[in-house]
Structure 1
Amino acid sequence: MTTASPGRRERGTTMAKRKVGAAPTVYDVADAAAVSIATVSRAVRNPESVTPATRERVEQAIHELGYVPSAPARALADRRTGAYGLLLPGFDDLEDAAAPAPSDGSVRITDDRGNRSPIGGAPLYYDEVLRGAEVEAWRHGAALLVAVGRGQGHDIAGRVDGLAVFARTMTDDAIARVAGRTPVVLLADEQAARGIDSVSVDNARGMRALVEHVVGELGIRDLAYLAGPKDSPDDAVRRTGLGQALAAHKVDSRSVRVRHGDFGRARAAQVAAELIAERAPRALVCANDQSALGALDAIRAAGLRVPDDIVVTGFDGIEAGAYATPPITTVRQPMRALGGAAIRALEARIADPTAAPQHLTLPVEVLLRESCPPAL
């Protein structure tokens, strides 16, 4: 007679003993695969940690039994929720997501040729960052919980193992309070003095390189800057890069007209139209690609041409900029990598809560496209 060691029984005994209709457990899988429950856990959460043969037996047992891992049980065992949080700023157009009135069977036809509704500015950038965070969370066997709106950090922090927070989403005091009980990483915020992990991109160098091309290579000295919101850390650093490029080429920064938008296309079109009405600049440097798309709208409406009459540049590298008419010269930032780096920073903080704060700056790339003429 053969005696099996604890956790390693003859394969198939559980199939006969388990009550018909009862939900299979990890013990059932361990019995069916003739392994320990710890091995089942490793095979499910970190497949590379077990041999291929063992992994195949566990997967076959899971398939035959119809086993679904219990997230609450796993969280209790690990003292983790199995989820990360991503907190996005509130958008001004959230009411557009409200459900429409029930259909009466008819389809409305609207002539929108003279009044195109621009794509919302926020999703094009944030969707890419969100996707990067989602994929990285999945790689760590975790889910991603997303909240939208200012001041929601307290609501989400207690439900996740760590929280990634975008700039301008929470006050400094609120961030400090949340960070006291939940690991926090700041996104798109280069104010490293806060003592909290942060991930950002090289905004200053990117904007400096772009403007040095416009001023130095194209010889343009008549510029206007379509800025973002006044409280945006990203915009503040990009303006620093703008100033550095102007100084390097001895262009008086006071000669550059600066107008603030909100990073959105509709507002940018209004601001660009106002600049053109005053006096069209030779180059319009925009704080982001959505603003550059709005500038193209205003320039077309004024009967001017890009780049013949006005050179336009953006920042971000969103896909819409590459398919604009003409395609927009821009600074491409690694948006998906930004989201992924945030999750890895949270993992590192959870692994070592006493480590010094990490401040990661990701590189950017200038993409020259048809909204700028060839260099002189």
Structure 2
Amino acid sequence: MAKKPTVYDVAEQAGVSIATVSRALRKPQSVRQTTRESIEAAIQLLGYVPSGSARSLAARRTGIIGLVLPNVDELETLGDFELMNHDTAEISVDRQVVGKIHRDSLYFDHVLRGCELESWSQGLSLMVSIGLGRGESDVNQLVHDMIGKVDGLIILARSVPDRLVESLYSRIPLVMVADAPIGGENKMDLVRVSNRKGMKTLVEHLVDAHQVSRFIYMAGPDDSPDNHKRYVGFQEGLAAKGISPESIPIYRGKFSRPTAKNITNDLIARGDLPQALVCANDQMALGALDALTQAGLHVPEDVIVTGFDGIEESDTSHPRLTTVRQPMVNLGRAAVSTVVKRIEHPDDPPYSTEMPVHVLLRESCEGPLGTV
């Protein structure tokens, strides 16, 4: 096998110093165009491949950002995979199944996509790990393995135990998405959206425009900061309109479409449907729509249904789902931008970003709207 070309060979071929080659690879804009073109021509001629590990040692950076997620949508239905090699093609009739649970483009997918896009735009790589189904000791090991390979870390709330987050933020550039552990809001870098204001605005609209006084609230997991902020906004919206929040029944839908469907089926069977079923995320709202549709009930005539997040399926459901859209892709981009700022400016005070949301009024609340 021929000897691999080195940076010394590139420098000799281009007629420049090794330092100039290194600078052209790390910061091309800092090298004159003619010099850069000579170096690029030498690299192409020799087939030189820069050593990532060598550049990392020189720059004391890996060029990698770590991302820890609590879950990815498909994990909930992920089965065993068997690698097979069969040169075949099967054919079958794919009939529509009423009430079939489709895979949604969910919150975590969009945040992950935003992190990928911003990492790419900044010339960085993204390392992703998922905490679902692992015990606390396994998550601790997973995160400690990761931090030795990355320049900074993005953690979605509920992915990592709070005490581990507390021990990490002073050791590595770290950004929390959604919320920080209790007591950490003013000392950690934080990126989140206006969950409270979005839900409050939606509830006030339901009362003002549709005279809703009988609500049911479908909540997510108790340990979710998004769930907590949305419920606070729900309470504030009711109180602002003279409705006691304590009078409103709460059901634990766990941010799960099947769970919400089961809860709604039970409400239908008992004849306990409210005027408006307000769900803390779109998944649960879609589950409620599944149950109501199968029972032959009409939305919004029999009951108004609303969600939160603005996932893609909320715009294709029947009826389309009234929701509060949060900028999920931009949330991921903001998280990467923030961790890069922290890497470059380690002594800055904590960065805190709260991104706006948009209440989208659709047919599940407003009835027929027509087209534009």
Query: Which residue matches 1:164?
Result: 154
Query: Which residue matches 1:269?
Result: 261
C-alpha distance 54-304 of structure 1, shift in aligned 2 (>3 A): farther
1:103 CA displacement: 8.2
| 2: CA distance, partners of 1:276 / 1:357 | 48
C-alpha distance 285-54 of structure 1, shift in aligned 2 (>3 A): farther
1:128 matches 2:121: no
Query: Which residue matches 2:210?
Result: 218
1:213-250 Cα offsets, whole Å, 9 max, x none, are 11112221111111111111100000011111111111
Query: Which residue matches 1:57?
Result: 38
1:74 matches 2:55: yes
Q: Which amino acid aligns with 1:184?
A: L
Query: Which residue matches 1:189?
Result: 179
| 2: CA distance, partners of 1:89 / 1:238 | 19
Matches within 5 A, 1:169-184: 169-184=159-174
C-alpha distance 355-292 of structure 1, shift in aligned 2 (>3 A): same
Query: Which residue matches 1:86?
Result: 67
Query: Which residue matches 1:96?
Result: 78
Q: Which amino acid aligns with 1:132?
A: G
8 Å contact 1:226–1:272 — kept in the other structure?
Answer: no
Q: Which amino acid aligns with 1:307?
A: P
8 Å contact 1:192–1:198 — kept in the other structure?
Answer: no
Matches within 5 A, 1:7-22: 21-22=2-3
C-alpha distance 215-351 of structure 1, shift in aligned 2 (>3 A): same
Structure 1: runs of 5 or more not aligned: 1-19
Q: Which amino acid aligns with 1:182?
A: I
C-alpha distance 53-323 of structure 1, shift in aligned 2 (>3 A): farther
Q: Which amino acid aligns with 2:58?
A: A
Q: Which has the larger radius of gyration?
A: 1
SS at match of 1:371: helix
1:332 matches 2:322: no
**TM-score for the superposition, normalised by structure 1:** 0.85
1:306-362 Cα offsets, whole Å, 9 max, x none, are 112111111111111111111111111111111111112211222222222222111
Identity of aligned residues (%): 46
1:41 CA displacement: 3.6
SS at match of 2:340: helix
8 Å contact 1:292–1:313 — kept in the other structure?
Answer: yes
8 Å contact 2:300–2:367 — kept in the other structure?
Answer: no
1:295 matches 2:263: no
Query: Which residue matches 1:16?
Result: none
SS at match of 2:254: coil
8 Å contact 2:162–2:181 — kept in the other structure?
Answer: no
Query: Which residue matches 2:97?
Result: 113
Structure 2: runs of 5 or more not aligned: none
SS at match of 1:141: coil
- Ranges of 4+ aligned residues in structure 1 off by more than 6 Å: 103-106, 108-112
C-alpha distance 281-73 of structure 1, shift in aligned 2 (>3 A): same
8 Å contact 1:119–1:265 — kept in the other structure?
Answer: no
1:142 matches 2:134: no
1:132 CA displacement: 1.0
C-alpha distance 346-91 of structure 1, shift in aligned 2 (>3 A): closer
| 1: CA distance, partners of 2:280 / 2:177 | 17
RMSD: 2.6
8 Å contact 2:180–2:188 — kept in the other structure?
Answer: no
| 2: CA distance, partners of 1:255 / 1:106 | 58
8 Å contact 1:263–1:290 — kept in the other structure?
Answer: yes
8 Å contact 2:106–2:311 — kept in the other structure?
Answer: yes
1:154 CA displacement: 2.3
C-alpha distance 57-289 of structure 1, shift in aligned 2 (>3 A): farther
SS at match of 2:366: coil
**TM-score for the superposition, normalised by structure 2:** 0.86
C-alpha distance 103-252 of structure 1, shift in aligned 2 (>3 A): farther
8 Å contact 1:333–1:365 — kept in the other structure?
Answer: yes
1:323 matches 2:316: yes
C-alpha distance 202-103 of structure 1, shift in aligned 2 (>3 A): same
8 Å contact 1:268–1:295 — kept in the other structure?
Answer: yes
| 2: CA distance, partners of 1:115 / 1:300 | 8
8 Å contact 1:329–1:369 — kept in the other structure?
Answer: yes
1:152-191 Cα offsets, whole Å, 9 max, x none, are 3223222211111111111211112222322211111155
Matches within 5 A, 1:232-271: 232-271=224-263
For these two proteins, the number of residue pairs brought into alignment is 354
SS at match of 1:86: strand
1:97 CA displacement: 4.3
Q: Which amino acid aligns with 1:233?
A: P
